[in-house]
A = this chain, B = another copy of it.
């Protein structure tokens, strides 16, 4: 990496604002990562969560911080791309962000611009960025009709239509985590009930895990966390499942069913040929993909009457969002290659 620093063609920066961390990369024109850096997402004191202005400043400060870290020793970058979770409009405003408390309505583009005067800045939905990265370098290469689904704190999607990321009329396409799949389901931070991400995201896994623990189906996991079923977290499940714990494998089976349900709904609407799963939960790999594939084969409409939908893991891992944000920024400035 270091041989590129300070020499060669100018980099583009990409920053992915997640529910737990803000992660950034500097990308060279060939897509190589020259530098990367991360910060914990400023979680905001209680006061700031009620004050979008302060909340916006916190987020923009974190982004500007990362930019300075990433730029150290590099030529001034061409542009900065930012991926943000939720409904990002075409002016770079994060209109609605149920998984980034207090950040709904934050003018990300404006606030970051104010801190990095002169730099070209593009703000996109984080899952759209991830889809762009997978389309360019990863598991969606060559796909015409496809979907990148990010299973993290919430669930997002980048839809690919005609080989390009589909933004929709406002830039809000792919908000699949907020399809309602059970109107009597648990309340969602978005204000409604039973959204898909209540069941199939990191938060959903945590809930399924605690339910299984309370029901006595995870004796070994509960013992390992000190005996309190309420202390079981999603990560405990994936760890235990890797060691073959039957209760934990059962929870992932249940999670896979819910993941498959939403995928079947996405397929009903847009008919992709390929679906790629990314985000933190996808790191469970086949432990989650296996149950998801099995359930999907039953939950998709007319399973025997359609060509199979390819269901695979994303290949760029946690970097997809940041890499895609950098690509979006470069293309906004230079045009797509």
A-side residues, CB < 8 A to B, are 86-87, 95-96, 104-105, 144-145, 157, 159, 161-162, 166-184, 190, 192, 261, 264-266, 268-273, 298-299, 301-302, 305-307
A161-B166, A169-B272, A183-B261 given; name 10 further pairs at CB < 8 Å: A87-B301, A157-B269, A168-B271, A173-B269, A175-B271, A178-B268, A180-B264, A181-B182, A182-B182, A190-B302
How many copies of this chain?
2
Neighbouring B residues of A176 by C-beta, 8 Å: 268-269
Please measure, in the bound complex, the distance between the C-alpha atom of A105 and the C-alpha atom of B306, giving whole angstroms: 10
Q: How far in angstroms is the closest Cβ of chain B from A118? A: 30
Q: How far in angstroms is the closest Cβ of chain B from A317? A: 25
Neighbouring B residues of A264 by C-beta, 8 Å: 180
Q: Within the complex, which residue of B96, B192, B266 is in contact with A299, where a contact is CB–CB below 8 Å?
A: B192
Are A305 and B95 in contact, with the CB atoms below 8 A? yes
Are B179 and A182 in contact, with the CB atoms below 8 A? no
Are A269 and B266 in contact, with the CB atoms below 8 A? yes
Q: Within the complex, which residue of B105, B181, B192, B298 is in contact with A181, where a contact is CB–CB below 8 Å?
A: B181
Neighbouring B residues of A95 by C-beta, 8 Å: 302, 305-306
Query: Majority SS of interface residues in chain A?
Result: loop
Are B270 and A302 in contact, with the CB atoms below 8 A? no
Please measure, in the bound complex, the distance between the C-alpha atom of A168 and the C-alpha atom of B298, giving whole angstroms: 21
Q: Within the complex, which residue of B145, B179, B265, B305 is in contact with A105, where a contact is CB–CB below 8 Å?
A: B305
Please measure, in the bound complex, the distance between the C-alpha atom of A96 and the C-alpha atom of B180, giving whole angstroms: 25
Please measure, in the bound complex, the distance between the C-alpha atom of A182 and the C-alpha atom of B272, giving whole angstroms: 23
Neighbouring B residues of A144 by C-beta, 8 Å: 169
Please measure, in the bound complex, the distance between the C-alpha atom of A144 and the C-alpha atom of B180, giving whole angstroms: 25
Q: A166-B161, A305-B87, A306-B172 are in contact. Are A180 and B269 (CB under 8 A)?
A: no
Are A167 and B270 in contact, with the CB atoms below 8 A? no
Select from chain B the residue with minimum beta-carbon distance to A199: B183
Are B166 and A96 in contact, with the CB atoms below 8 A? no
Are B96 and A179 in contact, with the CB atoms below 8 A? no
Please measure, in the bound complex, the distance between the C-alpha atom of A175 and the C-alpha atom of B87, giving whole angstroms: 24
Please measure, in the bound complex, the distance between the C-alpha atom of A298 and the C-alpha atom of B264, giving whole angstroms: 25
Q: A182-B182, A261-B180 are in contact. Are A190 and B301 (CB under 8 A)?
A: yes
Neighbouring B residues of A172 by C-beta, 8 Å: 271, 306
Are B161 and A96 in contact, with the CB atoms below 8 A? no
Are B170 and A271 in contact, with the CB atoms below 8 A? yes
Q: How far in angstroms is the closest Cβ of chain B from A335? A: 18
Neighbouring B residues of A305 by C-beta, 8 Å: 87, 95-96, 104-105
